[in-house]
Chains A and B, each alone.
Chain A
C-alpha cells in the first residue's frame, strides 16, 4: 500500500523554485522521508532524505513539517533538465530495506 500521496503532475517555469509536496500522514517514528527522481528512460536518482530536520544539499532542500505528516521538496532554480518524475518515499534507514515506489509527481519545467 502506498504510504505517500503526491500530486500527479506539476508545472514550473524555468528559473523559478519548484515546490513538490508530499503527504505521509501515517509515517512511523523511525521512518525517513526520501526523494528520488527519474528522468525519462533512466534509472532513479537519489535526491535527498531526512528524518525530522530540514535538509539541504547541492540538488535540493527538504522541508518536513513539525508533525512529520507532510514534506516539500524544493528545487531552488529549476532548469529544463529537472523535468522528471519525482518520487517521495518513506522507509526506515536500513540500506537493505526495499524501496516501494508510488506513482510520483511528473514535473514539467516550462521554458
Chain B
C-alpha cells in the first residue's frame, strides 16, 4: 500500500517558538493532503485540506495564521505551528490521497513546555 511518512515523530519545544512538521508521500504523488489534530482520548479533528500549488482550506475554528500549511510539491506538505503554546500540545497526523484511498502518516507528537 501507499506509504506516508511524517517528520519528526515527536518534538518538544518552548512556548513561543515555532515548529515545522513534514508530511511526505513516499511512493506516490498526492495533489491533496490533509492535516488532523488529536487530543488524548479524543477522535481525530480535521484541521485543513492542503492542495499542491494553492492555499490550504482550513476548517472552521482553525487559525490559519497560527497553523501555516505549505504544499509546495506533489510529495511534501508542511505544517508550521507558530508561536506555540502549551494548549497546542497534541498529536498531529497527516494523510494523503491516492487512487484507491487515503493513507495516513504515523503522526507527530508535539509537546509545548
Instruction: Spell out A's residues near B (CB within 8 Å).
Output: 36, 38, 41-46, 49, 85, 87, 95-96, 98-104
Contact = CB atoms under 8 A, between A and B. Distances in A.
Contact of A99 (B4, B46, B91): B46
Given A95-B97, A95-B101, A104 B106 contact: no
Interface of B: 1, 4, 6, 31-32, 34, 36, 43-46, 49, 91, 93, 95, 97-107, 109
Q: Which of B44, B45, B91, B100 has most chain A Cβ within 10 Å?
A: B44
Given A43-B107, A44-B104, A101 B43 contact: yes
A35 B109 CA distance: 24
Nearest to B32: A96
A45 B104 contact: yes
Contact of A103 (B43, B98, B101): B43
A49 B101 contact: yes
Given A43-B93, A44-B93, A98 B101 contact: no
B109 A41 contact: yes
Contacts of A103: 43
Contacts of B4: 43
Nearest to A95: B97
A46 B101 CA distance: 8
Contacts of B105: 43
B44 A101 contact: yes
A95 B107 contact: no
B97 A96 contact: yes
B67 to A, nearest CB: 16
